[in-house]
Every structure is written in structure tokens, then in C-alpha cells.
Amino acid sequence: MPRRVVPIWSLPRRASPAWRSFPAAADRRSFPPEVIVAVKAIACELPATLGVPFSRLSVADIRGQVIERGLVAEISGATIWRWLAADAIRPWSQRSWIFPRDPDFEAKAARVLDLYGRTWQGARLRPDEYVISADEKTQLQVLARRHPCSAPRPGVCRRVEHEYERRGTLAYLAAWDVHQAKLFGRFESSTGIAPFGRLVDEVMAAPPYRFARRVFWVVDNGSSHRGRVSVERLEAAYPNLVLVHLPIHASWLNQVEIYFSVVQRKVLTPNDFASPEELAQRLLAFQAHYERVAAPFDWRFTRKDLAALMVRLADGDTSRMAA
């Protein structure tokens, strides 16, 4: 009767002397490529397709699936972790994503990218033409901590009191000159057509925009500046203004959002302000500071990148989407 050969990768770890001396090296020798591929395939499955009651998989969950399916008799979590890390597979992580649903997404996004490169409808912008990126940071809550925040010291980070009192809300509207690194900002009790109109008035009344040949305003599709009606309203008020809407769900193409992310990190975190007035003063002081030290953003997402993005979306691949 022929002798039954048991593959080494199906044996418990304790049965392999190599594990006791060189576990990492033994991992690589003991498991054939097809087992590694199968483990990675399981890690890339949605939990629902595996029939498990989880919303996301951990290394322990993957290990349980591997053993339950009989791929191996025993395997360590560290081995699985190393295999997944080699391909940056992290099934326990997730990222929120909204798939573009604007039928004219590519065309609308392309013209904004052209403006960032100082081009409009195939022609170079003149020196007296400007590009403004504008938006609102809505519902900024003013939270007063019940106890003062403590300063950091060696071995101890800054501590922020968990409990707070609500002291109101504020809306921060900002306009960013894409090529001049110039900022305009104002505060309103809420957003809307009239508050946004006041921001436009402030910018368009200031030189050089007042006397510019054209001033392009890049905005999203928020209710303050949505649709053809907003184009007609603003362009009627300012004949040298050109309102350019981003595609739906494409705020990541609006450069002022980069500035807002800086504001969130540098000013609004932690949120500890006694009043809306204190928050407004802090934001205005930061705005003045930022404008002194800022330079135009090094924008590198081009029409070529956009075309590649659209191909990946068509193929259902969101693994390398723009942030």
C-alpha cells in the first residue's frame, strides 16, 4: 500500500522543527503560493459573501475561514498579517465614497482643471483674468469646555475636557484666488443665497477683480449657488463674472476645500470657544496669517489623471481614487 504523503503546510506548527528556530523563514518555505493567493482572496471578499455575521473582517476572522475551509490545518495570525501587508490589503479598514453620478462629470471636471492650469475653452487666460474657488463651511458649532484644556508636558499630551456647553453656531464663507493665493472670508449666522451674494460682493468690489476682464468663480452645487438660476443671477450682477459649477459630488476638485481642511486642523480642533465672536476672531486672525505665508496650491491632478479616473470608475475600480 503506497505511503500517504501529508503536505507540510497542513501540519500543525509544532510538527515543524523549522518553526521553533526560524518561524518567519519557515512560513515562506512551508506554504505554497496557491495557499497565499487563496488567503488573500478570502481577505478581499465582503463578509456577506462569506456567510459570516460581520461587517468587516479581522485577521482572526480570516484565519478562521482559512482553517474552516481546510486550506491549512494550522496557521498563525502573524503569517496572515504579513501576507496581507505585502499587498496593502486591509479588510478591517474602510473609506466613505460617493460614486460620481453626474452624466457630464468628465466634461465639467475638465473645464475646472483647465482653469487651474490658466486655460478656458482652449485659450490661455490673460493676466487680467482670475480664478476664484469659493464655498461655505457650514454649521460650525461653538463649544465651550466645562474645564480648561491642559497644556502638554513631557510624556503627557494636551488634554481636552470631554464635557462642553453649546454656545451657538456660525457659518464661514471663503473665497480663494487659485493663482494669487489671496483669501477673502466672512461670517454669517447661516448660509444661503444672500450670504453667498455678500461674499461675492466683497470680492468683486476689491481690486483687481473689480476691473478684471473676467473673474471665474468655481463653486459646487450647494443650495446657495445651484443651477442655471445662480449663473444668471450672479452674471447679471457682475458682467465680468463667470460662474463655473463643479460636477455633482466633486467637492474634492474645489481648491478652497484644501484651505478648509487646514482650518479644521489648525483652528477648529479642539473646539473650545466661549462665544461665536471668539471663534470668528480666531478664524479671521488665522486667515490673515495664512494669507501672509501661503502660496498657490501645487495642483497636480490633470486632464490625463481625470481620464484615467473615469476609466477606473467604468471598470468599477475605486482603489486609487483621488482624495
- Mean pLDDT on 65-81: 93
* Banded pLDDT at 319 (limits 50, 70, 90): low
- In the predicted model, is pLDDT for residue 56 greater than 90? yes
- In the predicted model, is pLDDT for residue 24 greater than 70? no
> What is the pLDDT at residue 183?
97
φ and ψ of 163, to 5 deg:
-85, 150
> What is the pLDDT at residue 315?
78
The C-alpha cell of 321 is what? 481614487
Could you read off the pLDDT of 289-310 as tens digits, one per residue?
999 999 999 999 999 999 998 8
> What is the pLDDT at residue 199?
97
* Banded pLDDT at 253 (limits 50, 70, 90): very high
- What pTM, to 2 d.p., does this model score? 0.78
Beta carbons within 8 Å of 224's beta carbon, 6+ residues apart: 136, 191, 192, 193, 195, 196, 230
Domains and CATH numbers, the chain: 8-86 (no CATH), 105-314 (3.30.420.10)
* Between 97 and 23, the higher pLDDT residue: 97
Could you read off the pLDDT of 25-51 as tens digits, one per residue?
444 557 999 999 999 999 999 999 988
* Residue 273 exposure: Cα atoms within 13 Å on the Cβ side: 20
* Banded pLDDT at 10 (limits 50, 70, 90): very low
* Between 243 and 249, the higher pLDDT residue: 243
Q: Could you give the percent of the chain with pLDDT greater than 90?
A: 76
**Alpha helix ranges (H) inside the chain:** 17-21, 23-30, 33-43, 47-50, 59-68, 77-86, 105-116, 193-204, 227-237, 256-266, 276-293, 303-314
The angle subtended at Cα 202 by Cα 140 and Cα 262, nearest 5°, is 40
* Between 243 and 320, the higher pLDDT residue: 243
Could you read off the pLDDT of 264-275 as tens digits, one per residue?
999 999 999 999
| Residue indicated by cell numbers 474602510 | 94
d(CA 164, CA 168): 12
**Among 147, 57, 98, 130, residue whose Cα is nearest residue 248:** 98
- In the predicted model, is pLDDT for residue 236 greater than 50? yes
Most confident region among 2-11, 27-36, 163-172, 199-208 by mean pLDDT: 199-208
Q: What letter would DSSP give residue 268?
A: S
